Amino acid sequence: MEVKFRLAARYNAQALTAVQIGPVTIGRGDLVIMAGPCAVEDYDRTLAAALALKEYGAHIFRGGAFKPRTSPYSFQGLGKEGLEILAAVRDATGLPVVTEVLDTRDVELVCRYADVIQIGSRNMHNYALLREVGRARKPVLLKRGLAATLEEWLLAAEYVLAEGNDRVILCERGIRTFETHTRNTLDVGAIAAARNLSHLPVIADPSHAAGRRDLVAPLALAAVAAGADGVMVEVHPCPEEALCDGDQSLDPAAFARLVPLLRQVALARNGLAAAAG
């Protein structure tokens, strides 16, 4: 068989790769929880969100400074000011931060502030950007394109790995299907398949998959049952007032209820896997 994924594939008995993000290790069995608002809005709210999320069990804080919005008239993020807020929030809370980079020209800037650089779904096919983050000295969270096959997703990871950056985390965030009740369809099978085909850690983003708050918890739990090494969930201190993606954002109390359930499912899953050898 032609070797398509020279660097992303998991060969027989190859150990899984764990990615270190500050004090957090992802890919070693312990469930990693990333949470935060869709976008960084201002310092006070961002800090309040991060403090609450840390207390409720989040390991990594998320928040967009550069936002890839469907409409050019929607809020585009605070840019550099958003990155400065994220870095200040990391210093105040100790939580590493993940944030998206949209443009090759901003990779250096984003790397100066972020602990993990995110490639969004819309940019999974942006090969110049993939190469650029492949040269960066930061872990990369690579979201699956909303219409990308599993193979295309792993080949996108291959672009990053081929430039010498071996710290790639795959993120399934839902794909576009004929369904309209949800924003996208979380491809739970792809989480399990990516975990088998690749040695890279795999996480799930149930928020962008669901597009609606009521489905975030069940999808997150399903993703963990299917083998996800972590989840990334949008949480806003006051979702009705969020500048973007409020409909799919949990409030901190709902997040607090979800975390112990996620941990129970991860424990059960790890126990079953150990028993099966």
User: Using CB under 6 A, which of 38, 197, 217, 228 touches ligand PEP?
Assistant: 38
Residue 210 amino acid letter: A
> Are β-strands 24-26 and 32-36 bridged in parallel, bridged antiparallel, or unpaired?
unpaired
Binding status of residue 236 toward ligand PEP by CB under 6 A: no
* Alpha-carbon gap, residue 3 to 191, rounded angstroms: 21
For residues 158 and 205, which CB has a smaller minimum distance to ligand PEP in the complex? 205
User: Using CB under 6 A, which of 90, 173, 195, 236 touches ligand PEP?
Assistant: 173
Name residues contacting ligand PEP, limited to 89-108 (CB under 6 A): 100
Binding part of the chain for ligand PEP, among 104-112, 114-122, 187-195, 255-263 by CB under 6 A, reads 114-122
Count of residues that bind ligand PEP according to CB under 6 A:
11
Min separation Cβ 234 and Mn ion, Å: 6
Residue 271 amino acid letter: G
Binding status of residue 245 toward Mn ion by CB under 5 A: yes
Binding part of the chain for Mn ion, among 30-38, 93-101, 150-158, 176-184 by CB under 5 A, reads 30-38
* Alpha-carbon gap, residue 105 to 103, rounded angstroms: 5
Radius of gyration for the chain, computed over Cα atoms and rounded to the nearest angstrom: 17
Q: Which does 249 bind (CB under 5 to 8 A by kind): ligand PEP, Mn ion, none?
A: none
Which residue's C-beta sits nearest to ligand PEP? 120
User: Using CB under 6 A, which of 93, 121, 165, 248 touches ligand PEP?
Assistant: 121
Binding status of residue 205 toward Mn ion by CB under 5 A: no
Residues in the chain: 277
CB 85 within 8 A of CB 62: no
Binding status of residue 220 toward ligand PEP by CB under 6 A: no
Min separation Cβ 140 and ligand PEP, Å: 13
C-beta contacts of 254-260 below 8 A and 24+ residues apart? 254/213, 254/217, 255/35, 255/52, 255/53, 255/56, 255/58, 256/56, 256/57, 257/217, 258/216, 258/217, 258/220, 258/233, 259/33, 259/56, 259/57, 259/58, 260/57
Site residues (CB under 6 A) for ligand PEP?
Answer: 38, 64, 68, 100, 120-122, 143, 173, 205, 208
Residues of this chain that bind Mn ion (CB under 5 A)? 38, 245
